[in-house]
Structure 1
Amino acid sequence: MPASRSDSVDTSVLALVAGLRQHYSDVVLPLWRTTGYNPELQLPYEAVDSARLQVMPVTRYRAMACARQLYVHTMAGATEHAARLFDSLRKRFAHSEGGWMYSIDAEGVALDQTHDLYTYAFVIFACAAHYRVTRDRRALDLLGETAGQVETRFTAPAGLYWAQLKPDLSGPLLDVQQNPVMHLTEAYLAARDATGDAGFTTALQRVIGGMARTFLHGPTQCITELRVGVPDNRIEPGHQFEWLALARSAPDVFGDTVLGDALEHAFKFAQAQGVDMATDGVCAALDLRGEIIDPTQRIWAQTEYARALAVHGDPAVGALLKRQLQRLRERFLQPRGWYECLDADGMVARSDMPSTTPYHLATSYEALPAA
């Protein structure tokens, strides 16, 4: 939920936030109800060209992208459009084995029938929001079914979950990975809020313990992308910021835990090593020594840094929020939408605007102070 206004919040910060939200409501969201929307399949296209505002060549539609769009339009109060997306999610991506396939092709035919934890997590997350706003019982039922499938199908050792399963559910395709588990954590937090089911708290406590045992890098106190000890591992600063925001949203779950204690150190490390002090741009990845290995600056990492600054709680940290919001507006937003990636020199590195990005704008803006 958006933060309430505090008397201590600079009015110029509130004006910045209002401008960002106006751009989101007037420019970003309408794009995905018009140019970025396929009315025949009733699905969002994968991406729109940022210069010409034309749909990028269509090869697939992903269930995860549909779920993210369901979330943002639900939260924006576009209930009719959200209802269409909800129906299409159920119709287009239902797996023959139950649960969800990863993608369909341009004609709407099954393409990749892998069971993907990242996808399942976003279905739960979107259904929680849709139920909370609309009270549509079907969303609540789908949330419960999908969470049950996660618990019965994806469970891996150490309290975590396989990243992908074979289409026939005969075994895992991918080992446990940080990012799908993080989004499952986000989804279970949303599901807990929507349903009041204490079972989600139990699952979250198990996940947090498993993350600390499996992904917490001792020297930096950061969460790695792959299991600690796997070759060519990396640290993504944006994910340190994202985990901190999740922890601040649920102190009853993260408080007095190894992971919860580490996240403050991870925030400081990611800020010191992964944020360019000249531009406030957040790089994509660091090695385990803190050296930049991917200098690309993706918009989602900038929004997660802003969200972490907004919810951190330390006034000295929060004082950096104004500058970060200015940088986000000046460097990544444009009159037709946004720039997905900048290179190390600040030049636009990608011409597409993916349908998945408005989710990151939405969750970041929800955390910002409101007038």
Structure 2
Amino acid sequence: MGADVLGRRAVLALLATLAACGDPASRARSRIDTAWHRADLDALLQRWLAHAPLPGGGFQTQFNRAWQPLPRGELELTAQARLVYAFAAGHELTRDARYLDAARRGADFLVERFVDPVHGGFFHAVAPDGSPRADIKRAYGHAFALLALGQVWRQGRDVRHRDAALKAWGAVRTGFFDARGGLVNECGRDFKPMAGARTQNPVMHMFEALLALGEATGDAGVLAGARRLGDFVCYQLLQGQADGGARIPEWYDEAWQPLPTQAAGGYIDLGHQFEWAHLLTTGAAVSPVYAQVAERVLAYALAAGYDDNDGGCGRRAFPDGARTDMGKGWWQQAECLHALLVTAGASGRNDLWRRYEQTLALVRDQLADAAQGGWRAAEALPCKTGRCTDEQPDPYHMVSLHHAALRLAGATAQAG
């Protein structure tokens, strides 16, 4: 081979390398450990598929580490919907038809058994035979029902699931929003609001659900709802810090004033700060402001709760300066890892990729359980301290993490 050809190849290789260095998307494809994300997803969902489906259409959602079912007296909306979402997302990533079949059956069960035929919306819980067990309405559960139905519609294209999701969004819009623009935590069956403190958690997951449902359906009203909630958080709940970071407290009174001290019940959930960072980054298509807010929230989360020695994040910081709780719970590590890869993919920042790799090593070493095909239910790592419980955490946080990683890396399966 001539020297001129070798020279041209060397130049082309150098140009390709330089282009990848300047292209966040190319860098994401090279830095994300797609093999691990796919293997962990498969190990997780194969076990849930083998053990969770019930004859009547719902899911058994509680197991010990050995996948032995734990007693259940009712089927709760959030847990059912999170499994529907997990199976539907699993189908998108693998094209395994078994996952889509399970997701469709679960979605049908949601629509047939959880939907209130009188007042709309979803019951909080039903008996194993599908009869209503708890007819209150919870915003948190409705968020996951919307997320699940939107994902099943996206994969299965059954208009019943799309229509049920949009109808439920109508019930949320009229039933859960309060005068200040946030969400009431609980309502009676007729959507009469129940008195009580407010929390950002259902707001966050409703924002997540509406982003996904809007992407799946293109419905302008759904996307407007996502913008409404995102603006509420960014302009009313966000607390700027002196160093330029910003945080979103967890609990509020009924007027959405944050609880001021640890003794009063006030805290900042660090896992939720990382969760907001990746959701607001994703939500930049709805409002460009959200990407800027995401950077500030991530900066706070890293400064307040990231372990730069061993990777991963703590659980809680406190508004009155009390010592941060640096216990490393399982789901917080999933959200920390999720935020690092999404924000690194959007920005190309090497410091975020370094932390992604560091936290991934922590997760692989201490949380992912190759023998059982799930994650260890750690309240605070390491498990040798006795703070891991004998149960299988539900797969929502892990599947959401893998979904983001594989989509960002361009490693989703192609339809046959």
| TM, length-normalised to structure 2 | 0.79
CA contact (8 A) 2:45 2:87 kept: yes
Q: List gaps (5 residues or longer) in structure 2.
A: 1-22, 92-98, 412-416
Q: 2: CA distance between counterparts of 1:249 and 1:66? A: 25
Q: 1: CA distance between counterparts of 2:29 and 2:293? A: 30
Amino acid at match of 1:57: P
Q: 1: CA distance between counterparts of 2:119 and 2:26? A: 54
Q: 2: CA distance between counterparts of 1:303 and 1:266? A: 17
Q: 2: CA distance between counterparts of 1:254 and 1:237? A: 24
C-alpha deviation, 1:235, in angstroms: 0.6
Amino acid at match of 2:193: G
1:71 to 79, 85, 92: 85
Residues 94/198 of structure 1: CA separation in 2 closer, same or farther (3 Å cut): closer
Q: 2: CA distance between counterparts of 1:242 and 1:8? A: 22
The match for 2:258 is 229
CA contact (8 A) 2:41 2:402 kept: no
2:63 partner SS: strand
Aligned residues: 359
Amino acid at match of 1:359: Y
C-alpha deviation, 1:295, in angstroms: 4.1
1:307 pairs with 2:328 = no
CA contact (8 A) 1:237 1:286 kept: yes
1:226-264 per-position Cα deviation (integer Å, ceiling 9, x unaligned): 23432421111111111111121121324236xx53432
Q: 1: CA distance between counterparts of 2:28 and 2:222? A: 34
1:165 pairs with 2:187 = yes
1:81-102 per-position Cα deviation (integer Å, ceiling 9, x unaligned): 1111111112232225321111
C-alpha deviation, 1:74, in angstroms: 1.3
Residues 205/70 of structure 1: CA separation in 2 closer, same or farther (3 Å cut): same
C-alpha deviation, 1:6, in angstroms: 5.1
Q: List gaps (5 residues or longer) in structure 1.
A: none
The match for 2:27 is 8
1:22-80 per-position Cα deviation (integer Å, ceiling 9, x unaligned): 1221x21122222233x233222232111x32112223321111111111111222221
Q: Please report the RMSD computed on the Cα atoms of aligned residues, expressed in angstroms.
A: 2.4
C-alpha deviation, 1:168, in angstroms: 3.3
The match for 1:353 is 392
Q: 2: CA distance between counterparts of 1:292 and 1:353? A: 30
C-alpha deviation, 1:345, in angstroms: 4.9
The match for 2:228 is 206
C-alpha deviation, 1:116, in angstroms: 0.6
CA contact (8 A) 1:166 1:173 kept: no
1:144 partner SS: helix
Q: 1: CA distance between counterparts of 2:398 and 2:24? A: 19
Q: 1: CA distance between counterparts of 2:403 and 2:73? A: 32
Residues 22/176 of structure 1: CA separation in 2 closer, same or farther (3 Å cut): same
C-alpha deviation, 1:301, in angstroms: 1.3
Between 316-325 and 240-249, report the one with greater CA deviation. 316-325
C-alpha deviation, 1:293, in angstroms: 5.3
The match for 2:19 is none
- Higher strand content, 1 or 2: 1
Amino acid at match of 1:72: A
Q: 2: CA distance between counterparts of 1:9 and 1:126? A: 27
1:301-340 per-position Cα deviation (integer Å, ceiling 9, x unaligned): 1111111111212232223211111111111111202112
- Higher helix content, 1 or 2: 2
2:70 to 56, 75, 88: 56
CA contact (8 A) 2:276 2:297 kept: no
Amino acid at match of 1:225: E
Task: Please tell me whether Structure 1 or Structure 2 has the larger radius of gyration of its CA atoms.
Answer: 2
Residues 235/310 of structure 1: CA separation in 2 closer, same or farther (3 Å cut): same
C-alpha deviation, 1:175, in angstroms: 4.2
The match for 2:55 is 40
Amino acid at match of 1:36: A
CA contact (8 A) 1:284 1:295 kept: yes
Q: 2: CA distance between counterparts of 1:147 and 1:339? A: 34
Amino acid at match of 1:17: T
Residues 244/290 of structure 1: CA separation in 2 closer, same or farther (3 Å cut): farther
The match for 1:30 is 46
Q: 2: CA distance between counterparts of 1:163 and 1:66? A: 19
Q: 1: CA distance between counterparts of 2:355 and 2:214? A: 32
The match for 2:363 is 328
1:92 pairs with 2:113 = yes
Between 283-292 and 189-198, report the one with greater CA deviation. 283-292
Q: 1: CA distance between counterparts of 2:404 and 2:155? A: 18
Q: Percent identity?
A: 25
1:131 pairs with 2:153 = yes
Amino acid at match of 2:352: V
C-alpha deviation, 1:294, in angstroms: 4.2
The match for 1:17 is 34
1:276 pairs with 2:290 = no
1:242 pairs with 2:239 = no
